[in-house]
Amino acid sequence: GRAVLLAGVAADIFAELQGLDVVPNTYFTTQRRVDALRSLQEKAATGSFIPASEAEKHGTVGAVARDAQGHLAAATSTGGFNNKPDGRVGDSPIIGAGTYARDGVCAVSCTGQGEIFIRRVAAYDLAARIHYAGQALEDAAKTLVFETLASHAIGAGLVALGAQGNPVAPYNTLGMYRGWITTEGQLVVATHKELHPMGPA
């Protein structure tokens, strides 16, 4: 069968063959991330117990979608958390950990400390709660974020769609940038608890 996950040089070659623009790694360096890295390194060097902010630790972009035929898809992009050890692989590229989609069940993209999402196989856990336990998407997502992941004392959130395209986006931090558009064209954006309907797209 076809490979599910490619890495390293082979992944770069595959991306080029698919017509994607390939840029040097320096393209992804921003002053904000450099400053965050310096801040975390200083905290580590001084033994500071001041917790890192979510912005200092990581920045994840997740997307989930349902097409007109009902097929579900999920994608997750991340720079990983700042000040990570060499060779560290997070949850974003691991199907079932930070990203998962299964037609007729759900599509989900997660954000938070990847190691915990890997250990809990969090994205697949959401689908299993729905498929095997018969839980509703919203109930399963809230349990995963506010109980399972919160029990590890980590900030966690996710965006997900159910089989019919119904969106959920629970998070246990102060806020999480999120937005969605319904099949009727209703656009919603939010940063904190309050939702902001934007009318038809």
The CA-CA-CA angle for residues 127, 72, 13, to 5°, reads 105
Q: How far apart are CA 127 and CA 133, in angstroms?
A: 9
Q: Among 196, 160, 192, which Cα is nearest to 63's?
A: 160
Q: Does an H or E element contain 197, and which? A: strand 196-200
Q: How far apart are CA 116 and CA 185, in angstroms?
A: 35
| Residue 60 known to be catalytic | yes
Q: Does an H or E element contain 162, and which? A: strand 156-162
Give me the catalytic one of 30, 60, 78, 99.
60
Q: How far apart are CA 79 and CA 133, in angstroms?
A: 34
The residues carrying an active-site annotation are 60
